Structure 1
Protein backbone atom coordinates (compact mmCIF):
# COMPACT_ATOMS: atom_id res chain seq x y z
CA UNK A 1 0.00 0.00 0.00
CA UNK A 2 1.29 3.44 -0.94
CA UNK A 3 1.53 5.89 1.96
CA UNK A 4 1.02 9.51 0.97
CA UNK A 5 1.06 12.62 3.11
CA UNK A 6 -1.89 14.97 2.71
CA UNK A 7 -0.48 18.44 3.34
CA UNK A 8 -3.12 19.69 5.75
CA UNK A 9 -3.66 19.99 9.50
CA UNK A 10 -7.43 19.80 8.98
CA UNK A 11 -8.44 16.35 10.23
CA UNK A 12 -11.89 16.72 8.65
CA UNK A 13 -10.28 17.13 5.23
CA UNK A 14 -8.07 14.08 5.83
CA UNK A 15 -11.14 12.04 6.75
CA UNK A 16 -12.98 13.27 3.65
CA UNK A 17 -10.06 12.34 1.40
CA UNK A 18 -9.76 8.88 2.96
CA UNK A 19 -13.44 8.32 2.17
CA UNK A 20 -13.01 9.55 -1.40
CA UNK A 21 -10.07 7.19 -2.00
CA UNK A 22 -11.56 4.23 -0.14
CA UNK A 23 -10.76 0.95 -1.88
CA UNK A 24 -7.65 2.24 -3.60
CA UNK A 25 -4.17 0.99 -2.68
CA UNK A 26 -3.40 4.23 -0.84
CA UNK A 27 -2.85 5.05 2.84
CA UNK A 28 -3.47 8.73 3.59
CA UNK A 29 -1.82 10.44 6.55
CA UNK A 30 -2.12 14.10 7.53
CA UNK A 31 0.28 16.63 8.98
CA UNK A 32 -1.06 15.89 12.46
CA UNK A 33 0.28 12.34 12.06
CA UNK A 34 3.81 13.62 11.49
CA UNK A 35 5.75 13.78 14.75
CA UNK A 36 8.03 16.50 13.49
CA UNK A 37 7.97 20.27 13.26
CA UNK A 38 5.70 21.37 10.42
CA UNK A 39 7.07 24.17 8.23
CA UNK A 40 4.87 27.21 7.71
CA UNK A 41 3.98 27.77 4.07
CA UNK A 42 3.14 31.26 2.84
CA UNK A 43 0.09 30.79 0.63
CA UNK A 44 0.47 33.87 -1.53
CA UNK A 45 -0.36 32.31 -4.90
CA UNK A 46 -2.86 33.98 -7.19
CA UNK A 47 -4.69 30.74 -7.96
CA UNK A 48 -5.63 27.61 -5.99
CA UNK A 49 -3.14 25.61 -8.05
CA UNK A 50 -0.25 27.94 -7.23
CA UNK A 51 -0.95 27.51 -3.52
CA UNK A 52 -1.37 23.73 -3.83
CA UNK A 53 2.01 23.52 -5.57
CA UNK A 54 3.68 25.67 -2.91
CA UNK A 55 2.43 23.43 -0.12
CA UNK A 56 3.24 20.15 -1.85
CA UNK A 57 6.77 21.31 -2.64
CA UNK A 58 7.44 22.63 0.87
CA UNK A 59 6.21 19.49 2.64
CA UNK A 60 8.04 17.21 0.23
CA UNK A 61 11.32 19.04 0.80
CA UNK A 62 10.81 18.81 4.56
CA UNK A 63 9.74 15.17 4.89
CA UNK A 64 11.02 13.52 1.67
CA UNK A 65 7.93 11.36 1.20
CA UNK A 66 5.19 11.48 -1.45
CA UNK A 67 2.85 14.34 -0.63
CA UNK A 68 -0.18 16.02 -2.12
CA UNK A 69 -1.82 19.30 -1.25
CA UNK A 70 -5.12 20.88 -2.22
CA UNK A 71 -6.34 24.44 -2.30
CA UNK A 72 -9.62 26.18 -2.95
CA UNK A 73 -10.87 29.46 -4.32
CA UNK A 74 -14.33 30.80 -3.52
CA UNK A 75 -16.08 32.99 -6.07
CA UNK A 76 -19.43 34.79 -5.99
CA UNK A 77 -21.74 35.33 -8.94
CA UNK A 78 -22.33 38.98 -9.83
CA UNK A 79 -19.63 40.38 -7.53
CA UNK A 80 -16.76 42.59 -8.68
CA UNK A 81 -13.34 40.91 -8.82
CA UNK A 82 -11.96 43.17 -6.10
CA UNK A 83 -14.59 41.87 -3.66
CA UNK A 84 -14.14 38.18 -4.48
CA UNK A 85 -12.64 35.99 -1.71
CA UNK A 86 -10.71 33.99 -4.32
CA UNK A 87 -7.90 32.03 -2.66
CA UNK A 88 -8.38 33.96 0.59
CA UNK A 89 -11.37 31.93 1.72
CA UNK A 90 -10.24 31.72 5.33
CA UNK A 91 -7.93 34.74 5.50
CA UNK A 92 -9.52 38.17 5.77
CA UNK A 93 -7.37 41.30 5.99
CA UNK A 94 -4.33 39.15 6.69
CA UNK A 95 -5.88 37.22 9.57
CA UNK A 96 -7.01 33.60 9.55
CA UNK A 97 -10.57 33.22 10.74
CA UNK A 98 -11.85 30.54 13.09
CA UNK A 99 -14.74 28.31 12.03
CA UNK A 100 -17.28 30.46 13.86
CA UNK A 101 -15.78 33.67 12.48
CA UNK A 102 -16.04 32.29 8.95
CA UNK A 103 -19.71 31.48 9.43
CA UNK A 104 -20.36 34.99 10.75
CA UNK A 105 -18.32 36.70 8.02
CA UNK A 106 -19.89 34.90 5.06
CA UNK A 107 -23.35 35.09 6.60
CA UNK A 108 -23.01 38.88 6.55
CA UNK A 109 -21.93 38.81 2.89
CA UNK A 110 -25.02 36.78 2.00
CA UNK A 111 -27.21 39.17 3.98
CA UNK A 112 -25.80 42.16 2.07
CA UNK A 113 -26.76 40.39 -1.16
CA UNK A 114 -30.38 39.71 -0.35
CA UNK A 115 -29.94 36.78 2.03
CA UNK A 116 -28.38 34.35 -0.44
CA UNK A 117 -25.51 34.50 -2.90
CA UNK A 118 -24.71 32.06 -5.70
CA UNK A 119 -21.18 30.76 -5.26
CA UNK A 120 -18.70 28.27 -6.65
CA UNK A 121 -15.54 26.58 -5.43
CA UNK A 122 -12.59 26.17 -7.76
CA UNK A 123 -10.34 23.41 -6.46
CA UNK A 124 -6.80 22.35 -7.27
CA UNK A 125 -4.51 19.48 -6.32
CA UNK A 126 -0.78 18.89 -6.64
CA UNK A 127 0.89 15.52 -6.03
CA UNK A 128 4.67 15.37 -5.67
CA UNK A 129 6.13 11.86 -5.80
CA UNK A 130 9.85 12.66 -5.86
CA UNK A 131 12.24 15.42 -6.87
CA UNK A 132 11.50 14.97 -10.56
CA UNK A 133 7.92 13.74 -10.62
CA UNK A 134 4.79 15.72 -9.86
CA UNK A 135 1.23 15.93 -11.13
CA UNK A 136 -1.22 18.79 -10.86
CA UNK A 137 -4.76 19.69 -11.81
CA UNK A 138 -7.24 22.52 -11.39
CA UNK A 139 -10.61 22.24 -13.06
CA UNK A 140 -14.31 21.38 -13.06
CA UNK A 141 -13.95 17.65 -12.33
CA UNK A 142 -12.87 18.39 -8.75
CA UNK A 143 -14.73 21.68 -8.20
CA UNK A 144 -18.22 22.78 -7.16
CA UNK A 145 -19.87 24.60 -10.03
CA UNK A 146 -22.76 26.38 -8.32
CA UNK A 147 -24.25 26.37 -4.84
CA UNK A 148 -25.89 28.86 -2.49
CA UNK A 149 -24.40 30.55 0.56
CA UNK A 150 -27.22 31.59 2.86
CA UNK A 151 -27.20 34.23 5.59
CA UNK A 152 -28.92 31.78 7.94
CA UNK A 153 -26.68 28.98 9.29
CA UNK A 154 -28.01 25.45 9.52
CA UNK A 155 -28.34 24.17 13.10
CA UNK A 156 -25.47 21.72 12.64
CA UNK A 157 -21.75 22.37 12.15
CA UNK A 158 -18.84 20.22 11.01
CA UNK A 159 -15.47 21.16 12.47
CA UNK A 160 -13.07 22.00 9.67
CA UNK A 161 -15.84 22.70 7.15
CA UNK A 162 -17.54 25.81 8.57
CA UNK A 163 -19.11 27.02 5.33
CA UNK A 164 -21.05 23.77 5.02
CA UNK A 165 -23.36 25.30 7.64
CA UNK A 166 -24.28 28.06 5.18
CA UNK A 167 -24.20 26.05 1.96
CA UNK A 168 -27.34 24.96 0.13
CA UNK A 169 -27.86 22.73 -2.88
CA UNK A 170 -28.91 25.05 -5.71
CA UNK A 171 -31.08 22.30 -7.23
CA UNK A 172 -33.07 21.46 -4.08
CA UNK A 173 -32.63 24.66 -2.04
CA UNK A 174 -31.82 22.43 0.95
CA UNK A 175 -28.74 22.70 3.13
CA UNK A 176 -26.18 20.08 2.19
CA UNK A 177 -26.02 19.09 5.86
CA UNK A 178 -29.71 18.13 5.87
CA UNK A 179 -29.51 16.02 2.72
CA UNK A 180 -28.99 12.35 3.47
CA UNK A 181 -27.31 11.39 0.21
CA UNK A 182 -24.32 13.01 -1.55
CA UNK A 183 -25.43 15.17 -4.46
CA UNK A 184 -24.26 14.81 -8.05
CA UNK A 185 -21.50 17.41 -7.68
CA UNK A 186 -20.05 15.73 -4.60
CA UNK A 187 -20.01 12.35 -6.32
CA UNK A 188 -18.38 13.91 -9.39
CA UNK A 189 -15.67 15.53 -7.26
CA UNK A 190 -14.87 12.26 -5.52
CA UNK A 191 -14.63 10.51 -8.87
CA UNK A 192 -12.44 13.33 -10.20
CA UNK A 193 -10.02 12.98 -7.29
CA UNK A 194 -9.90 9.20 -7.66
CA UNK A 195 -9.18 9.54 -11.38
CA UNK A 196 -6.41 12.04 -10.66
CA UNK A 197 -4.60 9.55 -8.44
CA UNK A 198 -5.25 6.62 -10.78
CA UNK A 199 -3.77 8.47 -13.74
CA UNK A 200 -0.82 9.74 -11.71
CA UNK A 201 0.11 6.31 -10.38
CA UNK A 202 -0.05 4.74 -13.83
CA UNK A 203 3.22 6.51 -14.57
CA UNK A 204 4.97 6.23 -11.22
CA UNK A 205 4.49 3.83 -8.35
Structure 2
Protein backbone atom coordinates (compact mmCIF):
# COMPACT_ATOMS: atom_id res chain seq x y z
CA UNK A 1 0.00 0.00 0.00
CA UNK A 2 1.35 3.42 -0.97
CA UNK A 3 1.79 6.08 1.69
CA UNK A 4 0.77 9.71 1.42
CA UNK A 5 0.76 12.41 4.10
CA UNK A 6 -2.23 14.67 4.70
CA UNK A 7 -0.97 17.65 6.71
CA UNK A 8 -3.82 17.67 9.21
CA UNK A 9 -5.05 15.99 12.38
CA UNK A 10 -8.70 16.73 11.63
CA UNK A 11 -10.40 13.35 11.88
CA UNK A 12 -13.29 14.42 9.64
CA UNK A 13 -10.91 15.39 6.84
CA UNK A 14 -8.81 12.25 7.27
CA UNK A 15 -11.85 9.96 7.13
CA UNK A 16 -13.20 11.72 4.06
CA UNK A 17 -9.83 11.60 2.31
CA UNK A 18 -9.33 7.91 3.07
CA UNK A 19 -12.78 7.08 1.73
CA UNK A 20 -12.06 8.89 -1.53
CA UNK A 21 -8.49 7.67 -2.05
CA UNK A 22 -9.48 4.11 -1.18
CA UNK A 23 -7.38 1.16 -0.12
CA UNK A 24 -4.55 1.87 -2.54
CA UNK A 25 -3.21 4.57 -0.21
CA UNK A 26 -2.49 4.70 3.50
CA UNK A 27 -3.00 8.29 4.62
CA UNK A 28 -0.68 9.47 7.37
CA UNK A 29 -1.71 12.36 9.61
CA UNK A 30 0.56 14.89 11.29
CA UNK A 31 0.34 12.84 14.48
CA UNK A 32 1.40 9.71 12.57
CA UNK A 33 4.65 11.38 11.49
CA UNK A 34 5.23 12.99 14.91
CA UNK A 35 4.76 16.50 13.58
CA UNK A 36 3.45 18.50 16.52
CA UNK A 37 4.52 22.03 15.67
CA UNK A 38 2.16 24.71 14.39
CA UNK A 39 2.19 24.75 10.59
CA UNK A 40 2.60 28.09 8.81
CA UNK A 41 -0.67 29.54 7.55
CA UNK A 42 -0.01 33.24 6.96
CA UNK A 43 -1.05 33.70 3.34
CA UNK A 44 -4.01 35.84 2.31
CA UNK A 45 -5.15 33.17 -0.17
CA UNK A 46 -6.36 29.58 0.16
CA UNK A 47 -3.76 28.53 -2.39
CA UNK A 48 -0.95 30.10 -0.38
CA UNK A 49 -2.00 28.57 2.92
CA UNK A 50 -2.40 25.08 1.47
CA UNK A 51 1.04 25.25 -0.13
CA UNK A 52 2.71 26.65 3.00
CA UNK A 53 1.49 23.70 5.05
CA UNK A 54 2.35 21.02 2.49
CA UNK A 55 5.76 22.50 1.74
CA UNK A 56 6.63 22.80 5.42
CA UNK A 57 5.88 19.15 6.13
CA UNK A 58 7.59 17.93 2.97
CA UNK A 59 10.77 19.97 3.50
CA UNK A 60 11.07 19.18 7.21
CA UNK A 61 10.11 15.50 7.15
CA UNK A 62 10.22 14.00 3.66
CA UNK A 63 12.77 15.88 1.55
CA UNK A 64 14.87 12.70 1.27
CA UNK A 65 11.95 10.31 0.88
CA UNK A 66 9.54 9.58 -1.94
CA UNK A 67 6.35 10.19 0.02
CA UNK A 68 3.96 12.85 -1.34
CA UNK A 69 2.50 15.41 1.06
CA UNK A 70 -0.70 17.35 0.59
CA UNK A 71 -2.57 19.98 2.57
CA UNK A 72 -5.81 21.81 2.09
CA UNK A 73 -7.42 25.11 2.92
CA UNK A 74 -11.10 25.90 2.64
CA UNK A 75 -13.06 29.11 2.62
CA UNK A 76 -16.74 29.98 2.69
CA UNK A 77 -17.27 32.87 0.28
CA UNK A 78 -20.49 34.84 0.72
CA UNK A 79 -21.48 37.06 -2.20
CA UNK A 80 -23.27 39.79 -0.19
CA UNK A 81 -20.20 40.14 2.06
CA UNK A 82 -17.75 40.56 -0.79
CA UNK A 83 -16.37 37.06 -0.40
CA UNK A 84 -16.14 37.00 3.39
CA UNK A 85 -15.18 35.12 5.42
CA UNK A 86 -13.02 33.50 2.74
CA UNK A 87 -9.49 32.64 3.83
CA UNK A 88 -10.41 33.72 7.37
CA UNK A 89 -13.33 31.27 7.64
CA UNK A 90 -11.90 29.24 10.52
CA UNK A 91 -10.90 32.37 12.44
CA UNK A 92 -13.81 34.62 11.46
CA UNK A 93 -15.13 35.29 14.97
CA UNK A 94 -11.64 36.01 16.26
CA UNK A 95 -11.10 38.84 13.78
CA UNK A 96 -11.71 42.10 15.65
CA UNK A 97 -12.99 39.99 18.51
CA UNK A 98 -11.85 37.49 21.11
CA UNK A 99 -8.70 35.61 19.92
CA UNK A 100 -9.93 32.63 21.93
CA UNK A 101 -12.73 32.23 19.41
CA UNK A 102 -10.34 31.16 16.67
CA UNK A 103 -11.62 27.91 15.14
CA UNK A 104 -14.84 28.25 17.17
CA UNK A 105 -17.52 27.05 14.74
CA UNK A 106 -20.43 28.25 16.85
CA UNK A 107 -18.98 31.74 17.18
CA UNK A 108 -18.15 31.84 13.47
CA UNK A 109 -21.72 30.95 12.49
CA UNK A 110 -23.19 33.50 14.88
CA UNK A 111 -21.05 36.26 13.40
CA UNK A 112 -21.91 35.30 9.83
CA UNK A 113 -25.65 35.14 10.49
CA UNK A 114 -25.48 38.46 12.30
CA UNK A 115 -23.75 40.14 9.37
CA UNK A 116 -26.36 38.73 6.99
CA UNK A 117 -29.30 39.78 9.13
CA UNK A 118 -31.87 41.42 6.85
CA UNK A 119 -29.94 40.50 3.70
CA UNK A 120 -31.96 38.76 0.97
CA UNK A 121 -28.95 37.71 -1.12
CA UNK A 122 -27.79 34.54 0.62
CA UNK A 123 -25.68 33.21 -2.28
CA UNK A 124 -22.46 31.57 -1.14
CA UNK A 125 -19.95 28.96 -2.12
CA UNK A 126 -17.49 26.69 -0.38
CA UNK A 127 -14.09 26.47 -2.06
CA UNK A 128 -11.31 24.04 -1.21
CA UNK A 129 -7.78 24.15 -2.55
CA UNK A 130 -5.48 21.15 -2.15
CA UNK A 131 -1.75 21.61 -2.60
CA UNK A 132 0.33 18.51 -3.33
CA UNK A 133 4.10 18.53 -2.93
CA UNK A 134 6.05 15.70 -4.51
CA UNK A 135 9.64 14.81 -5.30
CA UNK A 136 9.68 15.59 -9.02
CA UNK A 137 13.06 13.89 -9.41
CA UNK A 138 11.53 10.48 -8.77
CA UNK A 139 12.03 8.83 -12.15
CA UNK A 140 9.87 5.85 -11.20
CA UNK A 141 6.80 8.00 -11.81
CA UNK A 142 5.42 9.41 -15.04
CA UNK A 143 6.21 12.98 -13.97
CA UNK A 144 8.96 14.54 -16.13
CA UNK A 145 11.95 15.94 -14.28
CA UNK A 146 11.27 19.47 -15.44
CA UNK A 147 7.81 19.65 -13.88
CA UNK A 148 7.15 21.55 -10.70
CA UNK A 149 6.87 19.75 -7.38
CA UNK A 150 3.73 21.77 -6.53
CA UNK A 151 0.31 20.78 -7.84
CA UNK A 152 -3.08 22.31 -7.00
CA UNK A 153 -6.61 20.94 -7.11
CA UNK A 154 -9.72 23.03 -6.56
CA UNK A 155 -13.23 22.01 -5.57
CA UNK A 156 -16.25 24.33 -5.44
CA UNK A 157 -19.85 23.82 -4.34
CA UNK A 158 -22.42 26.59 -4.68
CA UNK A 159 -25.33 27.13 -2.34
CA UNK A 160 -27.15 29.41 0.07
CA UNK A 161 -26.70 30.54 3.66
CA UNK A 162 -29.94 29.72 5.47
CA UNK A 163 -31.25 31.86 8.32
CA UNK A 164 -31.20 29.27 11.10
CA UNK A 165 -29.05 26.24 11.84
CA UNK A 166 -30.29 22.83 10.76
CA UNK A 167 -28.70 19.43 11.24
CA UNK A 168 -26.29 17.83 13.68
CA UNK A 169 -23.60 16.18 11.55
CA UNK A 170 -20.57 17.67 9.85
CA UNK A 171 -18.52 20.56 11.18
CA UNK A 172 -17.73 24.21 10.59
CA UNK A 173 -20.47 26.08 8.74
CA UNK A 174 -22.28 22.89 7.65
CA UNK A 175 -25.50 23.61 9.64
CA UNK A 176 -26.14 26.89 7.79
CA UNK A 177 -25.00 25.98 4.26
CA UNK A 178 -27.54 24.46 1.87
CA UNK A 179 -25.96 23.29 -1.40
CA UNK A 180 -27.75 24.03 -4.65
CA UNK A 181 -30.10 21.24 -5.71
CA UNK A 182 -30.79 20.03 -2.17
CA UNK A 183 -33.40 20.82 0.45
CA UNK A 184 -31.04 19.94 3.31
CA UNK A 185 -27.95 21.57 4.74
CA UNK A 186 -24.60 19.82 4.74
CA UNK A 187 -25.25 19.00 8.40
CA UNK A 188 -28.51 17.26 7.47
CA UNK A 189 -27.30 15.38 4.40
CA UNK A 190 -24.89 13.16 6.33
CA UNK A 191 -21.34 12.11 5.53
CA UNK A 192 -22.13 9.70 2.69
CA UNK A 193 -23.88 12.28 0.52
CA UNK A 194 -21.67 15.18 1.56
CA UNK A 195 -18.54 13.21 0.67
CA UNK A 196 -19.90 12.82 -2.86
CA UNK A 197 -20.77 16.46 -3.53
CA UNK A 198 -18.74 18.67 -1.19
CA UNK A 199 -16.04 21.13 -2.19
CA UNK A 200 -13.37 19.09 -0.44
CA UNK A 201 -14.65 15.88 -2.00
CA UNK A 202 -14.43 17.44 -5.47
CA UNK A 203 -10.88 18.61 -4.86
CA UNK A 204 -9.98 15.22 -3.40
CA UNK A 205 -11.41 13.44 -6.44
CA UNK A 206 -9.13 15.52 -8.67
CA UNK A 207 -6.17 14.64 -6.44
CA UNK A 208 -7.08 10.94 -6.56
CA UNK A 209 -7.29 11.00 -10.35
CA UNK A 210 -3.91 12.74 -10.57
CA UNK A 211 -2.22 10.22 -8.25
CA UNK A 212 -3.63 7.34 -10.28
CA UNK A 213 -2.75 8.91 -13.63
CA UNK A 214 0.83 9.71 -12.59
CA UNK A 215 1.32 6.38 -10.84
CA UNK A 216 2.42 8.01 -7.60
Instruction: Provide the TM-score with structure 1 as the length reference.
Output: 0.79
Instruction: Give the drift of 1:98.
Output: 1.5
Work out which of the residue numbers 111, 115, 126 in structure 2 matches 1:109. 115
Contact between 1:135 and 1:200, CA under 8 Å: does it hold in 2?
Answer: no
Structure 2 residue aligned with 1:89: 89
Aligned equivalents of 1:173, 1:100: Cα separation in 2: 22
Structure 1 vs Structure 2 CA RMSD: 2.9
Distance 1:41 1:131, change over 3 A: farther
- Is the partner of 1:78 in helix, strand or coil? helix
Find out whether 1:165 has 2:168 as its counterpart: no
- Give the superposition deviation at 1:143: 1.6
TM, length-normalised to structure 2: 0.76
Match of 1:77 among 55, 79, 84: 79
Residues 40, 56 of structure 2: 8 Å contact kept: no
Deviations 1:155-178 (A, max 9, x none): 4143xx221111113323322333
Distance 1:192 1:176 in 2: 17
Equivalent residue, structure 1, for 2:142: none
Q: Find the counterpart in structure 2 of residue 57 from structure 1.
A: 55
Q: Alignment partner for residue 118 of structure 1, among 118, 123, 138?
A: 123
**Larger relative strand fraction:** 1
Partner of residue 39 from structure 2, selected from 28, 38, 41: 41
> What is the number of equivalent residue pairs in this alignment?
195
Residues of 2 paired with 1:188 and 1:101: CA distance?
A: 22
Indicate the residue corresponding to 1:20 in structure 2. Answer: 20
Q: Which residue of 1 aligns with 2:205?
A: 194
Determine the structure 2 residue equivalent to 1:156.
Answer: 168
Distance in 1 (CA, whole Å) between partners of 2:45 and 2:127 is 9
In 2, Cα distance between equivalents of 1:187 and 1:168:
11
**For each residue in 1:64-110, what CA deviation from the matched residue of structure 2 results, as whole angstroms up to 9, or x when unmatched?**
142100111221123336xx212111113174232222232223233
Q: In structure 2, how many angstroms separate the alpha carbons of the residues matched to 1:178 and 1:191?
A: 19
User: Where do residues 133-144 of structure 1 align in structure 2 (5 Å cutoff)?
Assistant: 134-139=149-154, 142-144=155-157
Q: Which residue of 2 aligns with 1:129?
A: 134
Question: Per the alignment, do residues 13 and 185 of structure 1 end up closer, same or farther by CA in structure 2, a change over 3 Å counting?
Answer: closer
**Matches of 2:195 and 2:40 in 1, distance apart?**
34
Indicate how the Cα distance of structure 1 residues 184 and 199 shifts in structure 2: closer, same or farther if over 3 A, else same.
closer
Greater Cα offset, 104-113 or 185-194: 185-194
